[in-house]
Amino acid sequence: MKRNALILFALCFCMLVPAQGRRKGQSAVHAEYGYILDQGDLKGGFMVKTGYSKVFGDAGFLGKVEGFYQDYEVTYMDEQILPYQKYGLNVNAGYSYEGLAPVYLNGWLGGYAAYETVNKGNTKDPKYSAEFPVSVENFIFGLSGSAEVEFAFARRFSLLANYTQFYDLKSDFSKSNFALFGGLKYYIN
């Protein structure tokens, strides 16, 4: 038993040794799954995002672009619960504190554009069968930000955990939401 534990420890150590620092111009792809928590008029749901990121220079500056999908519920007049979906593209600039390598603390700030669908595109509310006074399908935009912890467990792979906040600036149904994510990042070069 002790021999097996020693071999497992040695393998894990060998995987961690090459997982050192980032390089200028390094690129990565990532995929994350998250849960949108209940808050106010918003009922929780899920979110997925996948994207591409790049390291700029030697000072910890980052950039990323990602596609995302959100599925949750919003409250409408007289406590009606409506399904809500959003498909979008998110662009962020970021900074990474690398002093704890192979653990990186990343901060992101940017904006997004998305297409929202409320009530599955049905233009009448479910309780009164009244027409919605605004469109149930719209292009919207907003701001986003994330606080992320990245653990580089192998030369090309990292585990991600983050908190992401979205502020909808144009939606009539959803104003703000946040999600907790977990995911995986693969460094291409």
**What does the pLDDT look like over 89-115, one tens digit per residue?**
999 999 999 999 899 999 999 999 999
Instruction: State pLDDT tens for residues 161-170.
Output: 999 999 999 8
What domain count does the chain have? 1
**Residue 2 pLDDT exceeds 70:** no
Token output for 21 = 């620092």
pLDDT for the residue numbered 146: 96
Mean pLDDT in residue range 163-184: 91
Per-residue confidence (pLDDT) for residue 71, from 0 to 100: 94
For the segment 11-34, the average pLDDT, to the nearest whole number, is 72
Q: What is the domain range of residue 60?
A: 2-187
Percent residues over pLDDT 70 in the chain: 88
**Residue 180 scores a pLDDT above 70:** yes
Check residue 106 and give its pLDDT: 96
Q: Where are the beta strands (DSSP E) in the chain?
A: 27-36, 42-56, 61-76, 80-100, 103-118, 137-152, 157-168, 176-187
Three-class secondary structure of residue 150 per DSSP: strand
- pLDDT on residue 5: 52
Q: What is the pLDDT of residue 107?
A: 97
Q: Tens digits of per-residue pLDDT, 32-78?
A: 999 988 877 677 899 999 999 999 988 889 999 999 999 999 888 88
The 3-state DSSP class for residue 113 equals strand
- How many C-alpha atoms does 150 have within 13 Å on its Cβ side? 31
Residue 1 has pLDDT above 80, yes or no: no
d(CA 46, CA 56): 31
Q: What is the CATH number of the domain that holds 53?
A: 2.40.160.20
Contact between residue 73 and residue 65 where contact means Cβ atoms under 8 Å apart = no
